[in-house]
Structure 1
Amino acid sequence: MGDAERTDDFLQDQHPFKTNAFKIILTMVDWCNKTPGSKHFVDEILHSIFFLGKINEVPFSPQEIIGNEEIVEALKMKYPRPFLFYESQLPKRSPFSCVLDMIVLQQRPENEDQIKRSLKELIEPLNPRFLVSSTICVSHTNTQNSVRYYGVSMSTTGLRPGRIVIAASCCSAWDDYVAGAVMTYYPVKRKKEYFDGTFNLPTFVKCEAFNLRKGDPIHPCKSCANLFGLETQETQVWPYGNCAEPESLSNLLKNEVDVKSQSRPTSNTFTPENRENAQQSLHKALEIELNNNPIIDWNGEFYNALA
């Protein structure tokens, strides 16, 4: 096989990023038209997809992703900021988290089965490698009529995009306990000696993950056991922060005061000074990732979607 053929095969291999992105964008725009109070989800997902398109192995511009000048201009009119800031500001989370929030808003949090079904229907025709989460996590207390809190796994492809968005989530999206737990190991799968922000969930909290396509329950991986004290026999260590559990538990801790108060990390190294050092270490690692990809000129800010 010659170099030209290999290049063609590689380009073809990356093409589903573009097709998935376009289908997800059109679906989110359609849902937004039917769902009051959801415009910021479209604004945010446009920015997140455009950013990931820019740093994809084969970069795609917003115009290449959308592929239709009329649609591009219509989106620019209604959502101008994602087009302006996708090269200079980082997304706070991966795109499929916006999809999840849209569906939870539509279906209401108590309708767990319908939320899972809607997500499955969306992703079934999509290529699973690009912009699609594989797992959903549902967390709640073991009390009657407890609120369900959802999260999905990182919908990024490749090591570098995953590291960038996990770091951004720690800085700007996740609850501080969840972020601290992830920072304990970030960016490598090795625990810091000077800081331990991991914690054990109270026994009255239920945290379950499910395969989005099949619906089967998934045991926590070893990483989530290390972060949150979840019981598991699994030995697989995924990148810390990549799973659906961090987002789900973050949403729970932000809203359940009793759970938050009983989840405080207990290590002697969990101090404000050590956390600040861990956060600085995360920022340095994030800057290294971005410097290795100079097509992003980060201005130090994380993107805030406007309603």
Structure 2
Amino acid sequence: MTDLQPQAKQKTSEDTSVLVDEILHSIFFLGNIQKPGMTPESILNDTDLFEALKSRYPRPFELYSCQLPRRSPFSCVLDMMVHVVGQEKEEEIRSRLQKFITDLEKDVPSKDLTRKEKKNLKNLISTVICISKKKSNNSVRYYGVSMSTSGCNAGQIMIAASCLGAWDDYVAGAVMTYYPNKSKKEYFDGTIHIPNYVRCQAFNLRKGGEMPPCRSCGNMFGLNTDETDESDYGNCAEAESLSNLLKIENKIKQDSRPKSIKCTADNRERAKRDADRALKNVLSRIEFNTWNGTFYTPESKKTA
């Protein structure tokens, strides 16, 4: 990520240091909740690197044990790559992410890792990318990746955190309709229907090739699919991609709006409270008792 920053600076006026700040906090948090927990020092495993990053980005080192990340780590990598390449070059973005994954795994010799460490590294890498856009040729593309977490508890935490702290309210509502047990709530239906003039296409980042929406994405977003397998609701790349789309494209959001009579403001707030309660239950189960109730906001280093 730090190596990509100078390349991004040549292409965009946006401050990409916030993405390094954010990915550090997200990785430190996910390492901390492992059993046994991992410290930032043990994760970085390099004294000079540890000191350099801690000096430039102190807040992730201070707050990983009391604030929750809003997104999983690979979302930050994706955003950085979009800045470097340009949102219109989707094939190059996919190709460079595939190379990034291959190079990352080659850089860490397998013999130097325990079996658990190998699994943790693999789980920090997203498997799927999704691109959403209007079907017209020159439309802006909006990207998302699947959750990059290690273990069921981490996945449940990050889905709730994204619902409560990151995603567009329509996408969050669709996910919370089923979160956390894959069963549709009796009192709330925030599912939406993405219009046919929108292309929402997922690709496998390891093997290449298109991937159809799973049954969960069909249920939540009205995407056409013959798949019967249900992924964890909110785990798929479609959620982040569509969230980024709906935050900007107002007409698409209006055309996608939930239509159920159960989707009232009061019921949506109740669904949020239930998601927050489910999140706290997971945190309690893994004995993460230091959360102060807030989500981490990365800090700009433009003046550093």
TM-score by length of 1: 0.89
1:264-303 maps to which residues of 2 (within 5 A)? Answer: 264-303=257-296
Residue 77 (structure 2) pairs with residue 99 (structure 1): yes
Residue type of the partner of 1:240?
Y
Could you tell me whether the CA contact under 8 Å between 1:211 and 1:217 is conserved in 2? yes
Amino acid at match of 1:134: T
The match for 1:258 among 251, 270, 284 is: 251
**Aligned-residue offset at 1:296:** 4.7
Distance 2:200 2:39 in 1: 38
Q: 1:102 to 1:296 in 2, by over 3 A?
A: farther
Counterpart check, 1:142 vs 2:115: no
For structure 2, the 5+ residue unaligned runs are 10-14, 106-117
- Give the whole-Å Cα distance in 2 for the aligned partners of 1:292 and 1:111: 43
Tell me the residue number matched to 1:31.
4
Query: 2:86 & 2:268 partners in 1: Cα distance?
Result: 36
Residue of structure 2 aligned with 1:244, choices 229, 237, 242:
237
Root-mean-square deviation (CA, aligned residues, Å) is: 1.1
How far is the alpha carbon of 1:104 from its aligned partner?
0.2
C-alpha distance in 1 between matches for 2:289 and 2:52:
25
Q: Which residue of 1 aligns with 2:213?
A: 220
CA distance in 1 between partners of 2:149 and 2:125 (Å) = 8
Which amino acid letter does the alignment assign opposite residue 87 of structure 1?
S
Q: How much has 1:294 moved relative to structure 2? A: 2.2
Distance across 2 between alignment mates of 1:79 and 1:239: 33
Deviation per residue, 1:211-242 (Å, 9 max, x gap): 00122100100000000011111110010000
- Is 1:163 the counterpart of 2:156 in the alignment? yes
Residue of structure 1 equivalent to 2:171: 178
- Note the C-alpha offset of 1:165: 0.4
Report deviation, 1:144.
Answer: 3.0
**Over residues 261-292 of structure 1, what are the superposed CA-to-partner deviations in whole Å (9 max), with x where a residue is unaligned?**
10110000000000010000000000011111
Unaligned 5+ runs, structure 1: 1-27
Moved more, 177-186 or 136-145: 136-145
Q: Which residue of 1 aligns with 2:101?
A: 123
CA distance in 1, matches of 2:56, 2:88: 32
> How many residues are paired up?
280
- Equivalent position SS for 1:201: coil
Secondary structure of 2:123's counterpart equals coil
Letter in 2 for 1:235: T
Q: Is the 8 A contact 1:151 1:245 kept in 2?
A: yes
Aligned to 1:35, the other structure's residue is in SS state helix
Amino acid in structure 2 at the alignment position of 1:248: S
CA distance in 2, matches of 1:169, 1:206: 23
SS class of match (2:3): helix
